[in-house]
Amino acid sequence: MSATDVLKKVPLFSDLSDGDLAGFADVLREREYPKNSVILFEDDPGDALYIVSAGQVKVVLIGEDGREVILSVMGDGDFFGEMALIDDEPRSAHVIAMKDSRLLVLRRDDFQAQVVGHPRIALKLLKVLVQRLRQADAKIGGLVLLDVNGRVARLLLDLADESGGPRITRRLTHHTIAQMIGSSRETVSRAMRELVERGLIETTRREISIKNRDGLASLAGSRT
């Protein structure tokens, strides 16, 4: 797929004309990152924005004891690395490839020129940042207000919405779920078992299916 085709799938650029997209594609560089490689290090200076062309990455904070909390998982069409370009502060988190990934890289100067030159991009950028703030608010709320079953329930509902149906096909280990909701693998395994026993979900090696959405939503303290 050409860089222009990839850009058309990126919500940030979806309003641009083919001519503008081609101009953009000219200044993008493609880079490959193998699974588990670190793409950005927290506290490094920021010199570029990254767009996921193929693959999957996670945004993580790593504590001094090596424990990881996953702030976000991103896939095709998502972008990251904008924060350090906007406020000139160091990178706010690590970004690590969860699968072999192909990324498009936009250098700082080109990013700034594009945002200034296309106010619609600036507005879309704001929209994505606001969505991320909402998700971060929901996560903080979940950490303070919900028990582990509720946090797992909320995560599963969000992932099901993301995949557009009751089945979550993204491969998720209990360890990864634990890192996404700030818990331990053992506690998550216990919570998953309980959700299965209560008939709220079904799990196979390949996927998790939501069986009772209302029940999960009530655990997650939300409306369906």
Residue corresponding to tokens 């099901």? 160
For position 73 contacting ligand CMP by CB under 6 A, the verdict is no
**In this complex, which beta carbon is closest to ligand CMP, that of residue 71 or of residue 105?**
71
**In this complex, which beta carbon is closest to ligand CMP, that of residue 33 or of residue 80?**
80
- Compute the C-alpha angle 175/178/182, nearest 5°: 145
Question: Residue 80: which residues within 8 A CB-CB, separation 6 or more?
Answer: 40, 49, 50, 52, 57, 59, 74, 95
**In this complex, which beta carbon is closest to ligand CMP, that of residue 46 or of residue 142?**
46
Determine the interface stretch with ligand CMP among 6-14, 85-93, 113-121, 212-220 (rule: CB under 6 A).
Answer: 85-93
Residue type, 62: I
The CA-atom distances, in angstroms, between 74 and each of 28, 51, 56, 127, 132 are 19, 10, 6, 16, 12
Contact 160/210 with Cβ under 8 angstroms? Answer: yes
**In this complex, which beta carbon is closest to ligand CMP, that of residue 82 or of residue 110?**
82
For position 179 contacting ligand CMP by CB under 6 A, the verdict is no
Binding marks (x or -) toward ligand CMP, 122..161, rule CB under 6 A?
----------x---x-------------------------
Binding marks (x or -) toward ligand CMP, 21..40, rule CB under 6 A?
-------------------x
For position 83 contacting ligand CMP by CB under 6 A, the verdict is yes
**In this complex, which beta carbon is closest to ligand CMP, that of residue 93 or of residue 177?**
93
Distance between CA atoms of residues 175 and 215, nearest Å: 24
DSSP code at position 184: -
Contact 126/134 with Cβ under 8 angstroms? Answer: no
User: Which residues bind to ligand CMP, rule: CB under 6 A?
Assistant: 40, 46, 59, 71-72, 80-84, 91-93, 95, 132, 136
